[in-house]
Chains A and B, each alone.
Chain A
Amino acid sequence: MSTTTQVSPTHSSPWLEPRAAGAPEPPPPALRVTDLVTEFRSHRSSLRAVDGVSFSVPRRQVLAVIGESGSGKSAMLRSIIGINPPSALIEGRVELNGVDILSLPARERRRVRGRDISMVFQDPLTALDPVYTIGQQLVETVLKHRPGASRADARQRSLELLELVQIPSAEARLRAYPSQLSGGMRQRVVIAMAIAGRPQVLLADEPTTALDVTVQARMIRLFRQIQQEVDAGLVLVTHDLGVAAELADEVAVMYAGRFVERGTAQQVLTAPQHPYTEGLVEANVRAGQDRRPRAIIGAPPSLTRLPAGCSFAPRCSYAVADCWSTPPPVRTIDAAGSSPSGSSSVPHWSRCLLVPQQ
């Protein structure tokens, strides 16, 4: 296979080539998503699960996407890696190191999948094939992305991967079937499988939700460590604000298929500007808090019948008449209040009419 499209910095990216003169331009982010739209069409209706989402994640950075169930978070991840059902229509650009993988032919796109971009799923109990051993599934993954490697090499590499995710007695685990491991151990295997190709982008769909609470904290630390080790950008979908606060550099809030607020974790979680984010933060339960958590009234809107104006207006306690009729503008928040610490240059913004204009 000589026609492989290698989406890794050493081969296709012009940015890392030695330059003759001039200041080096910054490398493109590991992942850049532009105007991503995911539409599910049936003969009766169409439904926009993801409605024009744009963001980018540099290597070693973590973007947490928070929001209620049904806000389009999972559909977004599946569109990015390309495993939505065939009924999904996907538009926009998904660039890995500057290469738009949505425009690649199916074969080459598949080669990118699992190697340059990979995904960790929510439920480790069902994420592994029950009739193959851990070793068989790992070796298969390794061989997939290193076609030249021998079976013994792949086995050795699988062993290293298991050790990397801190699975004790890895040698024996290779011969085990998924049903013989605990949930936490299985999630480690799923993570090991996700990093087998040394991806530059990791996607994680609520990776700790299905786990025992006592295991969650350890898993989050492991996640951070692994991501730094393989030098990948991480997009983490979660509805656990604690996880977002601990892991994320930046936080994006998703509602009805769109980002409604975006900023550093600090900005978004401590000084939320969008009423929906405020609701999420107030609904959150934290140890030692003296106030009662407050739920957001109502339920997410049906994506087949969105209101004309702001999709959150029906549930918003601040909503004014204009909110119902005009689509809300994106407004940047004055940086004076929040410290410009951290490497992120992304401004804090909110898609809300009520945020004062600058």
Chain B
Amino acid sequence: MIRLVLRRVGLAIPILVGVSVIVFLLMTVVPGSPEAGLVPEDATPEEREAIRDSLGLDDPLPLRYLEWVGNALQGDLGYSEQRRREVADLLGQAWGNTFVLALVSAIFGIALGLLLGYLAGTRRGKAVDRLVSVLSLGGLSVPSFFLAIILLAVFAGGLQLLPSGGADFDDPLSAARSLVLPVLSGSLITMAITARVTRAGIVDVLGADFVETLRAKGLSELEVRRHVLRNAISPVLTTSGVQIGALLGGSVLVETIFRWPGMGLLLYNAISARDLVVVQGATLVIALTFVVVNLLVDLLQAAIDPRVRGTMS
């Protein structure tokens, strides 16, 4: 198992290098020059050149890449002239806020999805199964921003029950209240996907021969289902990993609608303002988050399912 962990971590490194190269190159190919937002409109070519020079924008690409990565490794992702803040500071704060939202959304969505999928899978063809099927299809089809707007109109607008956006992290109760609507709209897809994958897995495993052996051994239905669930959980973990990764990247739409000061909102604002250093940093952090989450999920899977362990090593 320790060797397996080392192997997987080793595999993650080239992925991260690749991601960093792409993020870096993207920023060099977008139209418009990076200094455009920093110099006055009537700046002379000499003044522009001075700024470019001070930012190292005329150095050869590989050199600029190495410098950028070197700084990034030390936690220096550059300075946003527009926000007048270190990019790392901005990202740190936004990531923390997104983490809270993502964690609650993931737990809510995955737990509810597992429960619904389990109920549907073990009561195949019954009313519960059909209800879950409709719910999850709906969850997949309704865009999160649409649901967000409906929720806003009903709970914040009409009923005046919950805040419409923003978050005051100094007051836990107020923070919790402002979490409700973003979590509901952000976790719907996670819930739907988890429910579908869980149901499919359970139906599949319930038809397996070894379930008969378990019943013939005299195990109770509950004990049989413990076996079934552990067999069915592998694909659920895979999709959960992708979902958690996506949630941690911050939903641009949900965060923007609810003015949740996370990665999504930061990214949205940075793109609108052409704040390229922030976009670059945010993209890198989101990619890093994805890689780490999927690494953790892979390892968790290997711990649960010996067959996965076999294919990994």
Name the residue of chain A whose CB is nearest to the CB of B208. A126
Across the interface, A127 reaches (CB within 8 A) one of B209, B219, B227, B307, namely B209
The CA-CA distance from A129 to B232 in the complex, in Å, is 12
Q: Which of A110-126 contact B (CB under 8 A)?
A: 110-115, 118-119, 121, 123, 126
Write out the residue numbers on chain B whose beta carbons fall within 8 Å of the beta carbon of A140. 217, 219, 223
Closest to A81 in B: B216
Q: Would you call A190 an interface residue if the criterion is a C-beta within 8 Å of the partner chain's C-beta atoms?
A: yes
> Complex Cα distance A69/B227, Å?
30
User: In the complex where A110-B220, A114-B217, A141-B217 touch, is A126 in contact with B307 (Cβ < 8 A)?
Assistant: no
Q: How far is the CA of A128 from the CA of B306 in the complex (A)?
A: 13
In the bound assembly, the distance between CA atoms of A29 and B215 in angstroms comes to 25
Q: Which of B218, B230, B231, B307 has the most CB of A within 10 A?
A: B218
- Of residues 80 through 99 on chain A, the ones whose CB sits less than 8 Å from some CB of chain B are 81, 83
Contact, CB under 8 Å: B306 / A177: yes
**Who on chain A is nearest to B231 by CB?**
A131
Within 8 A of A (CB), among B194-210: 208-210
The reply to whether B305 and A111 contact each other, CB–CB distance below 8 Å, is no
A126 touches B216 (CB 8 A): no
The contact of A131 among B209, B214, B223, B306, by CB within 8 Å, is B306
Q: How far apart are A233's CB and chain B's nearest CB, in angstroms?
A: 16
Complex Cα distance, B218 from A339, in Å, reads 42
Q: Is the CB of B227 within 8 A of A132?
A: yes
Interface flags, B58-89, vs A, CB<8A=1, else 0? 00000000000000000000000000000000
B313 on interface, CB distance cutoff 8 Å: no
Please determine whether B210 and A118 come into contact, CB atoms closer than 8 angstroms. no
Does A157 count as interface, using CB distance less than 8 angstroms? no
B219 touches A190 (CB 8 A): no
Contacts of A179 in B (CB 8 A): 306-307, 310
Establish whether residues B212 and A83, one from each chain, have CB atoms under 8 Å apart when the complex forms. Answer: yes
Write the nearest CB–CB distance from B301 to chain A, whole angstroms.
Answer: 11
Q: Contact check, B210 vs A130: say whether CB atoms are below 8 A apart.
A: yes
CB–CB A118/B217 < 8 A = yes
Q: Contacts A126-B210, A128-B210 known; A113 to B217 CB distance under 8 Å?
A: yes
Interface residues of B (CB under 8 A from A): 208-210, 212-220, 223, 227, 230-231, 304-307, 310
Could you list which residues of chain A lie within 8 angstroms of chain B, going by C-beta atoms?
A: 78, 81, 83, 110-115, 118-119, 121, 123, 126-133, 140-141, 144-145, 177, 179, 190, 193-194, 197
Name 10 A/B residue pairs within 8 A (Cβ), A-sorted.
Answer: A83-B215, A113-B216, A114-B216, A121-B209, A123-B209, A127-B213, A133-B306, A140-B219, A144-B218, A193-B217
